[in-house]
Structure 1
């Protein structure tokens, strides 16, 4: 947790209301995303119990499993989930744009132009919390290689044909959710806690009702009291008034309501009474709907809060990366490639790790450029400064054939920069990739002097607008404003046998 977030949480404790951590929205939100509230059976982490899903606030689809231990009913549930989810997930491949790029042959060095299709838009799934992401990943991995009724040797408990395809898509969404800055699969608690700080811990923020208690409390009510009520308030039957957002259900609900209802369902099946079985199924469906629908409404409430923030400038760039990811997975499915392996080889694992580290650095940089509150964390840490230009002194470097402009800029700033003279600085609100050198620090007067080194054109005189004028606000950082590319990794067949390659 950063110092700014800690200070915001302390202020939330003092004021009793959530404090903003951002001035813009740092994640992409689709116009009509697919919302899911998944539940799993207690003691069976990969046994689905129910799900509420849809894109219409007023008309969610609720699917339930009356007996999660019944494999036939479990796969029937997954097939029904696939019937509702796959048309949405696969419905973004019709409209594409063609992108061309130049690729170099690693052997001959010859350059060719390669054309690839990029979808114009991509699907977006939103679940209540991180537990929902984990459950979707478990459901995906448990259905990858499932034998179906269409196989020559289906074996016991064959799954419907579309269930393995659902598993491959869920696995892709789960893996993409691990990439920093991705918006294909989002958690509502993660979205809200990124943009607002509450007076409770990160673990307590995983309770969607408690988190919304801080953000949407009643008039004159403190956030901590609203959160406590959401976590603990129960009705006359001992059931929570604000059900947890899953994927596990409340133990009191399992013991007093759901467990006896499933027992009655099993008894009706033993007797072979079709009408009684149908009645017991409807009873379980209504019980589970009663704890899914409040969370469903909370998801939409969270979306309404997030839409009050304008979208950050770099969000569209990161969403394009999600579109490329979706397009690539769609092409792999169309080509008939096998499912993702359960465990990556050494090279693939290293590439995944490098990608996530690179994306995390990229997200941190872009959020700092897009949001003054995000940049304030770096300023507070002494990694950046912002201030007003008070003087500009023209100067040139005459060591080359043509004099190069190297103006001296004096900036008045309240920030304390942790750097020595000679350190390279990077301008965050000026010409692209403009660098400077720290010349002098005058902490007594709250001023510093820097020498601009680049971003002023190729002529003797700087291009108009490339040198800040007195009275202009500038922001410089000690860190580079673009992530560096990691070193290339070998192909799996070129690694030693200890890393998955061929034996010697």
Structure 2
């Protein structure tokens, strides 16, 4: 409801409105921006890319004939030259994590390379490139039928890791700019239109003299006198008009020049024609990539104006652990990631992503009042004023404090008495636990400091976070008149039970056959299939 309300307000104001008060994702000081461009109708066939960490000096990679295998491999080698040195630089900068009860002293990369792409389609392109290159055989293998440059498989392994990590909610290793912006601003257009970065930025930060709808319309449909889009989609789709009117003739000219060079042999004039045709393709591809390149950096500037949320550093540290773990696997000489995960690995990934999603939702609500308002509206949290505090103690040999709070609130908790509740305490490592005792309508005789009627009177018993003594530690029990926020969801959700090892996984889920388990009876031999007869064919 609040998301729909924000979009309606954006339509009325003719400009995007804030959907968050803080920035919920990490933005690196020196991210690597990648703007890819693919050939229409050829899945995974790159046409070009702009990549780099310097806003003013991008590296331009162009494939003058995307159907040529050697030129595509050269593109991947150029992409590896731009990306892998940054990975190696950050892989060598480490810090020491002290030993804990469950972990020895280990090294952790002090930072990780962050890759930013224009939209979610570009994230899928990164995954596709990683999948198609990590198993290729290099020129070091004399038996390889179509060898590729040496760094290409390593590039595929890193891109595969980044694409897999991007599926973890809250991860910031590989970010789509459109998803970043739509998380922090709400526009007056559809979610599909929000995937066009130029239109999205038109709503958020329109140029002088234009409002949001006009700027978005100009980005989506505005064309120059030669008929090309003012703001090409580039990420990684191309404009059909650009393909048919400009790109196709340039590629045909390049093909004719190459064919003429092959017929004439080593001819200086023919080589110059090939170079001129290739340069024309480079200029055309650069004209489609540069606007999106500038838009991505503009989006980063807008995001940096928001203060970073409190839990962002914790999630970025998890990304650094992921980066460090993959670095260690690569340096240990482990094989590339498999094409398909086994049952245990797939279940572990799914469970980890579910836990990360619950953790992300809880942390965003704790960091951002707008996100908490969504949970309050749905009955998963309530905020109000403390009307009364009654100190009680638990029964037993060692009585513990169990204060009972009466809270006046306008939020209706959607829970039965006895449900666990949680409250964040400043400086505490974990949330304070509580128990919902009763929820009653508030009458007109309530004091003025309570929220105006109609409302609710919620009774909550604190059950933890007050120390181990009979007297609660200072600051753990709110006072009358304080404003408190209780949630009905855990602040740090835990994962499920551990999964069995591969040796103990049933053969129905990818484990070893029963006969391979020591001490197990031999598996029954399957009956031979029926022989094929002439009646089996029509």
Q: Please confirm whether the aligned pair reaches a TM-score higher than 0.5, indicating the same fold.
A: yes
Contact 1:52 1:296 in 2 (8 A): yes
Equivalent residue number for residue 267 of structure 2:
none
**Cα deviations by residue, 1:241-269 (Å, 9 ceiling, x for unpaired):** 11103211111100000010000000011
CA shift digits 1:323-361 (9 cap, x unpaired): 111111111111111000000111111111111111111
Q: Name 1:46's counterpart in structure 2.
A: 44
Which residue is 1:199 aligned to?
188
* Aligned position for 1:122: 112
What is the alpha-carbon distance in structure 1 between the residues aligned to residue 46 and residue 464 of structure 2?
58
1:371 is the counterpart of 2:368? yes
TM-score of the aligned structures, taking structure 1 as reference length = 0.95
Which deviates further from its counterpart, 416-425 or 340-349? 416-425
Q: Does 1:451 align with 2:461?
A: yes
Equivalent in 296, 300, 322 of residue 299 of structure 1? 296
Choose 333-342 or 415-424, whichever is displaced more: 415-424
Inter-partner Cα distance in structure 1 for 2:56 and 2:109:
29
Aligned to 1:33: 31
Asked if 1:254 is matched to 2:243, the reply is yes
Point out the structure with max Rg over C-alpha.
2
**2:153 aligned to 164, 184, 187, which one?**
164
Give the TM-score normalised by structure 2.
0.89
Residue 244 to residue 410, structure 1, CA distance change in 2 (3 Å): same
Aligned to 2:165: 176
Distance 2:293 2:418 in 1: 56
Number of residues paired by the alignment? 492
CA contact (8 A) 2:200 2:216 kept: yes
**Which of 377, 380, 384 is the matching residue for 1:380?**
377
> Which residue in 1 is equivalent to 2:518?
none
Shift of 1:41: 1.0
| Residue correspondence of structure 1 range 176-255 to structure 2 within 5 A | 176-219=165-208, 221-255=210-244
Cα deviation per residue 1:98-122 (whole Å; 9 max; x = unaligned)?
3354687xxxxxxxx6332111111
Quote the Cα distance in structure 1 between the aligned partners of 2:57 and 2:505. Answer: 53
Instruction: Report the CA distance between 1:32 and its aligned residue.
Output: 1.1
| Aligned residue number for residue 86 of structure 1 | 84
Q: Once the 2 structures are TM-superposed, how far is the Cα of residue 388 of structure 1 from its aligned partner?
A: 1.8
Partner of 1:107: none
- In structure 2, which of residues 39, 58, 61 is the aligned counterpart of residue 63 of structure 1? 61
Report the Cα distance in structure 2 between the residues aligned to 1:400 and 1:103, rounded to whole angstroms. 31
Q: Distance in 2 between matches of 1:428 and 1:355?
A: 24
Aligned-partner Cα distance in 2 for 1:177–1:76 = 26
- Cα distance in 2 for partners of 1:498, 1:10 equals 51
Paired residues of 2:15 and 2:212 also in contact (CA < 8 A): yes
- Which position in structure 2 is the counterpart of 1:355? 352
Tell me if the contact between 2:425 and 2:431 (Cα under 8 Å) persists in the aligned partners. no
2:4 equivalent in structure 1: 6
Q: String of CA shifts for 1:203-233, please: whole Å, max 9, x gaps.
A: 1111000100110113564312221221111
1:246 and 1:404 map into 2 onto residues whose CA distance is: 60
Q: How much does 1:429 deviate?
A: 4.5
2:413 to 394, 413, 417: 417
CA contact under 8 A between 1:129 and 1:245: conserved in structure 2?
A: no
Residue 465 of structure 1 is matched in structure 2 by: 475
Please list every run of 5 or more consecutive structure 1 residues that lacks an aligned counterpart in the other structure. Answer: 105-112
CA contact (8 A) 1:268 1:277 kept: yes
| Aligned equivalent of 2:404 | 408
Inter-partner Cα distance in structure 1 for 2:431 and 2:84: 43
- Separation in 1 of the partners of 2:393 and 2:406? 16
CA distance in 1, matches of 2:186, 2:469: 49
Alpha-carbon distance in 2 for matches of 1:421, 1:348: 39
Three-state SS of the structure 2 residue aligned to 1:404 is coil
Cα pair 2:351 2:495 within 8 Å, conserved: no
Query: 2:424 — aligned with what?
Result: 428
State the alpha-carbon separation in 2 of the partners of residues 63 and 220 from structure 1.
Answer: 35
Deviation readout 1:74-108 (Å, 9 max, x if unpaired): 1111111111111012211222123354687xxxx
Which is worse superposed, 386-395 or 157-166? Answer: 386-395
Q: 2:285 aligns with which of 278, 288, 297?
A: 288
